[in-house]
Chains A and B, each alone.
Chain A
Amino acid sequence: MATKLRARAKRRISPTSERPLVQWLLIAISLAFMGIILVLPLYAVFHEAFSKGIGAYLAALTERDAQAAIRLTLLVAAIAVPLNVVFGLAASWAIAKFEFKGKAFLITLIDLPFSVSPVISGLVYVLLFGAGSFLGPWLKSYGIEVLFALPGIVLATIFVTFPFVARELIPLMQDQGTGDEEAALSLGANGWQTFFRVTLPNIKWGLLYGVLLCNARAMGEFGAVAVVSGKIRGQTTTMPLQVEMLYNEYNATAAFALASLLALLALVTLVLKSVLEWRFGEEIAAGSH
């Protein structure tokens, strides 16, 4: 009887899956790991931010330097993201619509900033524009400050967010081929008309996806910006830098309050990104990150 029962239990399990107990065990381990490594920090941000009440939270956000940091972060993203969008569109057009020598190499080069430490991304601009460089003093003689000023922060941000839009659009446009554009051209459209009326509608969700990731990184970048900003309170501190300063001044509640805005940005980004993946999975070249 017992053997028969065991045989029955055994034959209910598909040969290509594990027994339910094993499945639930593995799911439990995975979720516990995710909970501790990923979810707990997120929870901690909000927990700490509100630990002294909503009044302290709001006070921290409305404080003058915090407001300046928020404005600077938005301004930097507003410059860096559109520039990288234009670059992403140009690069993916050149790469996806044409065959030319060195294309594979160019694609590898575009990903290059991802393998450079953010601190090094900032360092290269310090070397380029800092004291002892050739360019820095020359620009300074015309009254242009790059380091420890907005241009440096923007440059460093562009560097670290450089590949996001392009690497999203290149596989997508390669996948779509040139048929639609050729059809539009054969019907008498000119190049710009073809781009705005045919290509852009085809890639709009993929573009949005790339912009989303690019923006999240631009607003949240820390290492590269820390190197070039000089951290002048109220002037060259972006939100992440302000978080660091507050934290190092043992003002943890204010640091976490500002951090909670960035965490919120991350959550919104994740939600929008997931919605795009679920609804337009095929139109954003699923699986590419």
Chain B
Amino acid sequence: MEVRVQNVRKEFDRFPALHDVSLDIRSGELIALLGPSGSGKTTLLRLIAGLEMPTAGRIFFGDTDASEKTVQERNIGFVFQHYALFRHMTILENISFGLKVRPRATRPPAGEIRRRALELLDLVQLAGLEKRYPNQLSGGQRQRVALARALAIEPAVLLLDEPFGALDAQVRRELRKWLREIHDRTGHTTVFVTHDQEEALELSDRLCVMSQGRIEQVGTPDDVYDHPTSPFVFGFIGESSELPVTVQNNEVWLGGRPLGLPAGDSQPGKARLFFRPHDVELVQADAALTGAVNTARRVGGTRRVELTISGANQPVEVDLPFDHPATENAALTFRPRRWKLFPAA
């Protein structure tokens, strides 16, 4: 089922949490809503679920306008960060709950409900634990139960709010892989919220980067990583270094010197130069960035060097081969291999 969010605005007590957000979610895709806390990603998810109602705008499930429907009527599966399992019910009762509360006309017979719940328990690899209580399971197991419970109602859309946020790193990595497998097998349209870029990049078909109640960029992980369309996205996804520069004569200048970087179609004037620390090359040229080494640390297979660039007040980081003999105060000359210019704010 495709989901279209159309010009949605959401205010909490006059405080805007989302400004005019539009997003098309394709049928069957796994899309991540990624952003720092306060970016509005959870609000957007809850609006899609019907747990919140938009101040303005509409949300379509396929061709139906879901905005007028309550959360119960939308038929979505929602997985909460803290599992939100019913503690007084066994695992089997938890999974069957959504089917058991249906009106008699649409409720499957008891035997059928049980069969489906057991099947789902099998799908989430917890067969045999149906008589346990949530309290008797580990965090990872509980989140699997929560997913099975959400899947039991055959939801039109599966929504996950920081599903791995409460788990430790090891379990989180396992569950990530496992969620991808489940998604590939069941094919539900899935939206999940995360603040962990690694998780979003690894897991999603597309990601939607959000900041301060707005969508910054939507695209495939490669697309967003390689072609960030805003300073925020460049800074938020992956590591980045930034320098204040000037564009003049179709060239990038810093401290009265050209850097040997063509400015393309950037407007002349002040600009912000972004590049990835690992995407630089050392050069022997006058038209390049030069800096004095502040600190140099060995980080795994590379040497992370912090430089004070002449002509700029702020330090930047670059990665050099680990055997590079960078010492304090040594001068380095380099150019980014790939970079991006944004107009200065």
Within the complex, are A and B direct neighbours (CB within 8 Å)?
A: yes
B54-97 CB contacts (< 8 Å) to partner A: 67-72
B285 CB-CB contact with A under 8 Å: no
| Cβ–Cβ contact B72 & A11, under 8 A | no
Shortest distance from the beta carbon of A81 to any chain B beta carbon, whole Å: 41
User: 1/0 contact trace for A1-24 toward B, CB 8 Å?
Assistant: 000100110111001000000000
Main secondary structure of the interface of A (DSSP, over half): helix
| Cβ–Cβ contact B72 & A15, under 8 A | yes
- CB neighbours (8 Å) of B127 from chain A are none
B53 CB-CB contact with A under 8 Å: yes
Closest chain A residue to B54 by CB distance?
Answer: A11
Shortest distance from the beta carbon of A105 to any chain B beta carbon, whole Å: 26
A152-175 CB contacts (< 8 Å) to partner B: none
- CB neighbours (8 Å) of A12 from chain B are 53
Closest chain B residue to A11 by CB distance?
Answer: B53
Closest chain B residue to A7 by CB distance?
Answer: B68
Residue tally, chain A, CB below 8 Å to B: 7
- CB neighbours (8 Å) of B71 from chain A are 15
| Cβ–Cβ contact B68 & A11, under 8 A | yes
B34-70 CB contacts (< 8 Å) to partner A: 50-51, 53, 67-70
Closest chain A residue to B51 by CB distance?
Answer: A15
Shortest distance from the beta carbon of A191 to any chain B beta carbon, whole Å: 41
Q: Which of B50, B68, B71 has the most CB of A within 10 A?
A: B68
- CB neighbours (8 Å) of B53 from chain A are 11-12
Closest chain B residue to A15 by CB distance?
Answer: B71
Closest chain A residue to B49 by CB distance?
Answer: A15
- CB neighbours (8 Å) of A8 from chain B are 68
A266–B53 Cα distance when bound, in Å, is 47
| Cβ–Cβ contact A15 & B50, under 8 A | yes
- CB neighbours (8 Å) of B51 from chain A are 15
Closest chain A residue to B67 by CB distance?
Answer: A11
Shortest distance from the beta carbon of B92 to any chain A beta carbon, whole Å: 25
A60–B33 Cα distance when bound, in Å, is 75
- CB neighbours (8 Å) of B70 from chain A are 10-11, 15
- CB neighbours (8 Å) of A10 from chain B are 70
A12–B51 Cα distance when bound, in Å, is 11
A186–B266 Cα distance when bound, in Å, is 66
User: 1/0 contact trace for B205-217 toward A, CB 8 Å?
Assistant: 0000000000000
A97–B324 Cα distance when bound, in Å, is 57
Shortest distance from the beta carbon of B299 to any chain A beta carbon, whole Å: 37
Closest chain A residue to B50 by CB distance?
Answer: A15
Closest chain B residue to A13 by CB distance?
Answer: B70
Question: Across chains A and B, which 4 residue pairs bring their CB atoms closest together, nearest first?
Answer: A7-B68, A15-B71, A11-B53, A10-B70
| Chain B positions near chain A (C-beta within 8 angstroms) | 50-51, 53, 67-72
15 A-B pairs in the complex with CB atoms less than 8 angstroms apart: A4-B68, A7-B68, A8-B68, A10-B70, A11-B53, A11-B67, A11-B68, A11-B69, A11-B70, A12-B53, A15-B50, A15-B51, A15-B70, A15-B71, A15-B72
